[in-house]
Structures are given as C-alpha cells and as structure tokens.
Structure 1
Amino acid sequence: MGDSGGGITDGDQKLKRGRFPWFSLDGTPHKPYIIGIGGGSASGKTSVANIIIKELGVPWVVLVQMDSFYKSLTKEQIEQAYQNNYNFDHPDSFDFDILEETLKNLKDGVQVDVPVYDFNTHSRLKDTSTSIYGANIVIFEGIFALHDPKVRALMDLMLFVDTDSDVRLARRLRRDIAERGRDIHGVLSQYKKYVKPAFDDYIYPTMKHADVIVPRGSDNVAAISVITQHIIREMDARDLSLRSQLLKMNYPKEKPASVALLDANPEVSSMLLLLQDKSLDKSDFAFNVDRLSRLVVERGLVEYEMSQEANVDRVLKLHQKMCAVEVTRTKGPSMLNGLTQVLNHLPVGSIMLVQTRDVTSPKPSSEDSPTSLLAKEVAEIELHHMNLPKDIKDRVVIITDVTTSTGAAAMMAVRVVLDHGVKEKNIIFLSLVATAHGLHVLTNAFPAVKIATAEVVSEMDGFRRISEIGHFGDRSFC
C-alpha cells in the first residue's frame, strides 16, 4: 500500500498540499473516484498507477495495493510457502471481505486501517496497520483487482494491464529474488506450478470487466495519457468548491434557535469590546480571550449535559469521556487555554485549516450587502494538518474555533471528526464570535451538533469584526 501525496494517516501529519472541501452544502462527503487496475503478476500495474498519479498532478490521491490483503497463513501453510508449495496466486489467498470493507469505507470518506502483510513471515503484522484518511482519488491495484463483483461495484474506472508473459516472468524473477528473498529455482517452480495456471484460469478472464485495456503497461504512454485526461475530465465535473456555494445561500439574520448564546451582560459585552480594541496589549488580549472562552465552554457543556439528561454522577463520567480538537490557523488566538482551565487533563487534538490565499478586508460601499462583503473577504479553506486522539471515536468531542464566518471551516472541522467515527450527537462546537450565516450553515448540515458562542453578528460590521478579531490575534505570535 502506498500513499502518494494524498491520504493522511493518524498521528501528527503535515501535508505538502492541502485538501479542498470534499463535502456538499448538507455536510455529506463527495464519493472519491476509485480506479481499479488488474493484470497478471509483474505486469506493471504499480508502474501504471504511479504514472497516472504523476500525470494527474493533484493532491489527495491514495494508492492501495492488493498485497496488503493476503490472508495470514497457518503454521502448516507457512511451511508449504517456504518450500514454494503454497499458491499465493489463487483468489482464496486473499481476504476479500476485509478488502471490500476497506474500499467501501474509503468510498464513504471515513478513516480506514489497512493491514500490513509481511512476506518474510507470510502473515499480517500484529497490532500494525496503516491508517488512511482522506482521498479524492483512490487507485487500487492487484492481480485480482477486477475479480470480485462486490469490489468492482465500488469502482468508477477499471483498467487491465496486459503485458507479455515473458516480460512478466523476467520482472517477477527480479522482484522475488531481490525484494522477497527467494531463490531462482523456487521462483521458477512456483511460476510453473501456480502463477501461470492462475493467470490463465482466474486473472486473464477478468480482462472482460475492464473499461480500458493497457497493452505493454507503463510503456504505453499514449494509452495512459488518454486515461489520465479522462480522469481529469471526470474530476472537473465534480464541483468541490464550497464557500462560493455557501455565499449564495440566504439565511435569516437571527441565530438558529438551537445555538446557545451567552447572556449579553456587562461583563461579556466588555470583553467583546476589548477584543476589538487594537490598542490592547498582548497579555490583556490573551487574558480576555481565556476569560470569554471559559464562559463559552461552560455554556456548551450545560447544553450537552441537558441533552443527555445527566445528573451529577453522569456529568462526571461524561467529562471523563471528552476530548478537545482545536481548529488552528497559521496565526490567531486560541480558546484552548480557557477550555483546559474548565476541564483538566483533557486529551487535545488539532486540525489546521489554511486559506488558499491571503485576504484583505475591503472598504465597504453603500451597495455592499453582508453576503457580498463576506465574499470579498474570504478564500477557500484547505485541510493541511491533523492530529487527533487515537480513541476519538469513543469520546465526546469539543471542537473550538475562535471565529465562525461563512461556516466553511466549521463544516470541515466537524466533517473530519465525523469521518473518524465520532457520532454527530457527541460533538460540541464552540466559538467566541460567529455570524448568523455561518451558524445556519453548520446547523443545517449537522443538526445534532451542540453549538455555543459568545456573540452572534449579522450586520455588515459584524463580518468585518470577525476579520478584525482574527487578524488582531496575530499579535499573540509577535
């Protein structure tokens, strides 16, 4: 299994290229484009896949190899394998159930764990897997990639690499001797006994399912170029932009009824005004962000606890199951200090979202509506970095984002958490300042998410205020 500029794995991963929104206005993920590449052993399937990836030149392409789904052998079968008497080229050697489940989950956009197969021990490595999340294009290659009808049903494009048998044998000799520690006599014996018959009986017949046959494999530059152009046209037909679509939506100026709002008492109003004061020094700014964050966290917790009809004992248990995920930008303030002051010893993760270009706040004109002004101030959001708790799917997740404007970043953060197995009802989203527009976007897409904020703005000045607070937060990094 390979990762070619695309899916990110669990742990602290920073991407060379960001991922554009992969979901619709209603929050449902777009289905990735899945390409299946079949063909005989050593026919050049991986080479064709890598050339396609290179020519596409797009981020978020994942290469999954069928070798990862070999079944672990019994002790008796391992002894047979060491004597070159086990048939690795028969369909029964592969776990098609796990393979189908993995590709289906990738198709659904959720995180998957791909097993790691060790050819030296002829078994899957225990407690070891490759976790993959996020792909706009999935390329799956293997000798039986086109064999199983359930697997074929998941594919958007099926290719068969047809290479001369003598060429395949020469390549297999080089690969098995150099990479898998086999001897030449064993490889030749296995080829005659298992590999060639399996190709004739099981692999070659799958050619009839292919949409495109690629003679000579990676040497067929013209065929691969045509295939690549077809994939590009298919992807271009899928509009993955989000903010431009969000800005066309007309929502009420009032906040959604389900959003919890801090009482507009003098203390809260004073803190909100101070956050807009550009003369406020860095320490006072951070102090007020923390104060306001604590209040928003407490308000969000109350909303969630009420939805769970929790008593005191249950509240304590709920808090033990919680974790935090902070939405971070390249610069800006954070709600994390305030949150951890309320909930100690909380596992914390992060999601870094970056705008595609720098933006500047335009000067308003009398013709500017809130929506038109917002459209001038923002750019598309990309996912660049993700570090989530390993057991996040079993937790209640508190997502914090200082400001919410269009709702695009909030949707992306919630979508990432959902894609890692968290239930929508177990997500709490917290923000200091939000537009009514952005809150409606979020509640329409994810109605079960609990939301709390300190202030909701709906007028033109409010959109500018969000931008000013965000840019003012840059001082915390000076």
Structure 2
Amino acid sequence: MGSTTPVEYLFESSTKAHFSGFRMDGMQAMNSQVGQTTTSVNENVHKQPFIIGVAGGAASGKTTVCDMIIEQLHDQRVVLVNQDSFYHNLTAEELTRMLKHGKAVDIPKYDFRSYKNNVSRRVNPSDVIILEGILIFHDPRVREMMNMKIFVDTDADVRLARRIRRDTGEKGRDISMVLDQYSKFVKPAFDDFILPTKKYADIIIPRGGDNHVAIDLIVQHIRTKLGQHDLCKIYPNLYVIHSTFQIRGMHTLIRDAQTTKHDFVFYADRLIRLVVEHGLGHLPFTEKQVVTPTESVYTGVDFCKRLCGVSIIRSGESMENALRACCKGIKIGKILIHREGDNGQQAIQLFRPFLCF
C-alpha cells in the first residue's frame, strides 16, 4: 500500500459517524460535525449491516471467494468493498460519507497502471457489506466491526503463479519486475503482516474459490443471519414478494429521473397489479368443483366471502385500477385522513358507504 494511505478504518461504531475511508485521522472532529445526523439506538438495530471481512495473501483468491458468495446469495442487498480502492488519502467530502448509517457512498477505483484513482463507483446501503483486502484484519478497530472474518489460505506457489499471470497480463509488467517485487516486498510483507492475522479468522478457506463446500456453508450462515431481522418473522401476516430481475428493472425505470410520465404510469401500474395479484393469493378460499367443456370435473377454489376495496386517499387511489382489473365489479370505498387544526388530532371521513358488505 502507498505510504500516504494507512489501511486503518472503514466504519466507526454504531453510535458514531461512519465513513467510507479507512483512515482514523481527525475522527473526533468529524464526530462532532455529524453528531446531529446520528440515528437513535433502536433505528440502528434495524439498519446495522452484516459485515464480513475477507483477508489472505495477494492472489490467494479473495475476490473470487467474494464473487461466489455474492452470486449465490442472489440478492441486491450485498455490496463488495475492496481495500485496493483506498491507496491514497480520501478527500474531505469522502470522509463525511456514512455507509453504515444506510447512506450511499462514492468509492474510488484504483488503476494499477497509472497508480491513480481515476473514477469512482456509487455504493448503496446494503444488508451485507463484504470488506476484501490483504490487511483487513490488521487493525483491531476494523476487526471489531466484523460479524464474520474469513481468511483465504492458498499455497504460496499457486499465489506466485497467479500473480505472475495477473501482473504481466493486466498491469503490463515484465516477469523480472514481478519476481523482483515478490522476493523483496510481497513475500516478506506476507510473512510479517498478513499471515499473522490468520489467527483472527473465524473461518479459514483452503484453496480459495475451489473450495465450494466451505463457500456453500458460509452462504447458508449469511442467509440465516439475514433472516434474523426478517420482518416476516416479526409480523406473521406480512408477505414479501420475491424480487426478480423484472421487478428490479421496473423499479429502476420508475426511479429514473429521465423516465417519461407515460412510462412511469405504465410501469407503476404493472408493479401495483403484481402486488394486488399477490395479495389475492392470500385471501381465504373454499374448494369448488366445476364441469369443464369436455365434461370432466375440475376441483378448484372459490372466494369464501364477497370482496370490497378500501382506498385511503390520495395514494391509495393509484391502486384502484389494478384492483378493478383483477376483481371484476368490486366495490371500492374511500377513507380520507386529515388533521383538525394545529393540535395534531386526526379525523377520518368516509366516502361512498360500503354497500357491498
């Protein structure tokens, strides 16, 4: 790592400010500036991400292990932060970011050819944050943040062979330079600083990405931890629609500032209809037999009761068309909630008496 950028810190404790950088310099001053934005303890309990540290020697397969974990989770709530992104000092603006508080951050991308951070990538709040780097376990303040610590243990000869292929192919270095750097800096640094941190690991993965059994077990553990804060387990009558690429694509369109009003309405209606159809699937049914045109008997289901809709003005009105499209002739009543004066008391007004009961 560059001498001007000690790899020290990524996140502060849950009751302090949280930054996107690995530095601790000026921490006390920064805490006083952002203290007003700190959320309550109860809010932090629900927002705290599950932080995983992945360490190991250079070319040990750390990134491959991280990519396999993310791929198996099939969840957009996982983000990877590479230690290599912080080779240089962060700007004052970057130091004021708060990823662990549920805010997006811009993380620089280091170019090994030009030795500069040329571009940045936006990292959004996530339920799982994976920190990957050779010295991730070096600082005890960083280790204390981690819920799981993984050390990728790969044979030194394998790591050297991978490093030669990577540095000559991706970084444009000749093999003599790679071997000279390895013998003078990489191997001594691994023996003195990286290998001793292996004792802090909760899980050691031999052979890196080739160890599919270990990665499968890790993924199952992460899924279990994520489920501990699942609202469905807190509220038994709450159902969550499984996210698909189609649903995420429509969410992307309606959130895009460049989307036209017509397209916004079209894709919003599609999403609302999916919600209505999914909700109808959880209503009580009774078994019913019908005779088909081919005179065979089909055993299906029928609604137990007559249905009505209740629309809470104004946002609820945007869902009425989808409900009517799914339930022919359904009666819809409206509720308006508004404040009475400045005393904060709320009054409820009913429109269209519910004659459908």
TM-score bracket for this pair, using the shorter chain length = 0.5 to 0.7
2:156 aligns with: 165
Once residues 164 and 174 of structure 1 are traced to their aligned partners in structure 2, the CA distance between those partners, rounded to angstroms, is 16
Q: Which has the higher contact order (CA 8 A, sep 6+)?
A: 1
8 Å Cα contact 2:335/2:351 also seen in 1: no
Which deviates more from structure 2 when the two are superposed, residues 147-156 or residues 109-118? 147-156
RMSD of the alignment, in Å? 4.7
8 Å Cα contact 2:81/2:131 also seen in 1: yes
| Residues 1:403 and 2:319 aligned together | no
1:359 aligns with: 276
1:108 aligns with: 101
**3-state SS of the aligned residue for 1:359?**
helix
1:236 aligns with: 227
2:210 aligns with: 219
2:198 aligned residue (196, 204, 207): 207
Identity %: 41
Q: TM-score, normalised by structure 1?
A: 0.44
Once residues 129 and 46 of structure 1 are traced to their aligned partners in structure 2, the CA distance between those partners, rounded to angstroms, is 19
8 Å Cα contact 1:32/1:135 also seen in 2: yes
8 Å Cα contact 2:335/2:350 also seen in 1: no
8 Å Cα contact 1:404/1:434 also seen in 2: no
2:286 aligns with: none
**3-state SS of the aligned residue for 2:106?**
strand
Unaligned runs of 5+ in 2: 1-38, 239-256, 284-302, 318-333, 340-345
Once the two structures are TM-superposed, the CA of residue 155 in structure 1 deviates from its matched residue by 1.7
Once the two structures are TM-superposed, the CA of residue 331 in structure 1 deviates from its matched residue by 5.7
Once residues 74 and 219 of structure 2 are traced to their aligned partners in structure 1, the CA distance between those partners, rounded to angstroms, is 10
2:52 aligns with: 35
Q: TM-score, normalised by structure 2?
A: 0.57
1:50 aligned residue (67, 81, 96): 67
1:445-456 alignment to 2 at 5 Å? none
1:188 aligns with: 179
**3-state SS of the aligned residue for 1:203?**
helix
| Residues 1:64 and 2:81 aligned together | yes
Once residues 306 and 347 of structure 2 are traced to their aligned partners in structure 1, the CA distance between those partners, rounded to angstroms, is 20
Unaligned runs of 5+ in 1: 1-22, 73-94, 248-323, 334-350, 379-400, 406-432, 441-454, 464-478
Change (3 A) 1:156 1:356: farther
| Amino acid in structure 1 at the alignment position of 2:51 | I
Once the two structures are TM-superposed, the CA of residue 134 in structure 1 deviates from its matched residue by 2.8
8 Å Cα contact 2:52/2:147 also seen in 1: yes
1:299 aligns with: none
8 Å Cα contact 2:65/2:209 also seen in 1: yes
| Residues 1:179 and 2:162 aligned together | no
1:320-359 alignment to 2 at 5 Å? 332=265, 354-355=271-272, 357-359=274-276
8 Å Cα contact 1:159/1:213 also seen in 2: yes
**3-state SS of the aligned residue for 2:107?**
strand
8 Å Cα contact 1:369/1:460 also seen in 2: no
**3-state SS of the aligned residue for 2:137?**
coil
Query: Which deviations, in whole Å up to 9, do the C-alpha atoms of 1:207-243 show, x marking residues without a partner?
Result: 1111111111111111111111111111111114599
Once residues 210 and 98 of structure 1 are traced to their aligned partners in structure 2, the CA distance between those partners, rounded to angstroms, is 33
1:68-467 alignment to 2 at 5 Å? 68-71=85-88, 105-125=98-118, 128-240=119-231, 332=265, 354-355=271-272, 357-359=274-276, 403=315, 436=337, 459=350
8 Å Cα contact 2:56/2:194 also seen in 1: yes
Once residues 270 and 101 of structure 2 are traced to their aligned partners in structure 1, the CA distance between those partners, rounded to angstroms, is 22
| Amino acid in structure 2 at the alignment position of 1:121 | S
Change (3 A) 1:462 1:230: farther
| Amino acid in structure 1 at the alignment position of 2:108 | P
